[in-house]
Every structure is written in structure tokens, then in C-alpha cells.
């Protein structure tokens, strides 16, 4: 039988060094500026904003609070349907809170990437909790974290 006393190898493998390093990178280190429109913005104008800012997802706010998100995929679905994109406001077609997956400045990018893969979204709003005048709690959008940010980070990790 094996003796119960002994020693453990505590040296770190290259892979565990990679894991430690990756988990030390925070969302605030790689996030981008968010693109936000109001709920009343017509779908067409929101699509134009999407192209002008060249982003994949637009976040929607009402009274300074995050209320929704619309992706390129959502817009495409609407654009080939019978919706009057010049009249219908983005607030009608968006995915509405609390069904938005969010991240925050001090979250490890690794955790945010797991959310992106698990929830099959392209981008997460980076948020901060805020309290409105009426005492209502909500989130303010301070950034966005997308698969593009993660791909850029991957390139940075690999470059000399």
C-alpha cells in the first residue's frame, strides 16, 4: 500500500501559468465605448447608428437606465419581416431587461467570455449599478465587451 505521508509537487505548469495570467485580466482592461440609443429611436435610425459606429450590438436606455439590447441578428430578422422600420421604435423589438446578460469593470474577462459563449451572444454591456431619483435600482452602461475585444486580447497574448 502507498504510504499516507509524502509530498506534493507544487511547481506550476505552463498551462496553469496561462490560466492564472488570463484570469488576472479584467473587463475594464479591454472594454470598448458603448453605443446607446433611446427606446423611442426608430428601428431604422438604430440600424444607421449600428453602421456608423460599426458595432454588432446596440444598447438601449430609458431615463439613463439600461433597458435593452439589439444585435445585428435581431435587426436582420426585423428588416426581412413586415415591420415598418421607419416608424416602429427600437424599444418594441429589443431584448428587454432582465433578459440581458451583463458584465462589470472588475469581472475577469475570462468570466465574461464564458457568459458570451454560454448565452450565445456577441456582446455584453459593461454596467454599473445606479439608483434613480425615485429610489429605483438599475444599471448605467459604461462600456461594451464583445467577441472582437476577446479576439484582440487573444492576439495581444500571442504577440511577442
With contact defined as beta carbons under 8 Å apart, do 59 and 41 qualify?
A: no
Q: Which of residues 32-61 bind its own copies (CB under 8 A)?
A: 44, 47, 50-51, 54
| H or E stretch at 20 | helix 14-24
Distance CA 148, CA 73 (A): 16
Residue among 3, 6, 11, 14 that touches its own copies (CB under 8 A) = 14
76 binds its own copies (CB under 8 A): yes
Nearest 5°: phi and psi at 22? -60, -40
| H or E stretch at 95 | strand 95-96
Tracing cell 465605448 back to the chain, one arrives at 33
Residue 42 or 138 having the CB closest to its own copies: 42
152 binds its own copies (CB under 8 A): yes
Residues near its own copies (CB under 8 A) are: 14-15, 17-23, 44, 47, 50-51, 54, 72-73, 75-77, 79-80, 85, 110, 113-114, 116-117, 120, 147-148, 150-155, 157-160
Amino acid at each position: 500500500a502507498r504510504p499516507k505521508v509524502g509530498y506534493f509537487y507544487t511547481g506550476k505548469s505552463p498551462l496553469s501559468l496561462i490560466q492564472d495570467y488570463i484570469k488576472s485580466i479584467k473587463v475594464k482592461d479591454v472594454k470598448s465605448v458603448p453605443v446607446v440609443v433611446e427606446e423611442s429611436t426608430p428601428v431604422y435610425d438604430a440600424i444607421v447608428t449600428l453602421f456608423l459606429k460599426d458595432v454588432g450590438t446596440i444598447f438601449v436606455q430609458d431615463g439613463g437606465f439600461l433597458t435593452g439590447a439589439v444585435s445585428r441578428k435581431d435587426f436582420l430578422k426585423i428588416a426581412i419581416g413586415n415591420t415598418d422600420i421607419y416608424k416602429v421604435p427600437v424599444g418594441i423589438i429589443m431584448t428587454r431587461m432582465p433578459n440581458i446578460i451583463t458584465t462589470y469593470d472588475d469581472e475577469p474577462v475570462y468570466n465574461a467570455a464564458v457568459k458570451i459563449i454560454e448565452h450565445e451572444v456577441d456582446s455584453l454591456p459593461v454596467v454599473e449599478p445606479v439608483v434613480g431619483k425615485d429610489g429605483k435600482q438599475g444599471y448605467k452602461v459604461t462600456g461594451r465587451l464583445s467577441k472582437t475585444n476577446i479576439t484582440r486580447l487573444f492576439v495581444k497574448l500571442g504577440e511577442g
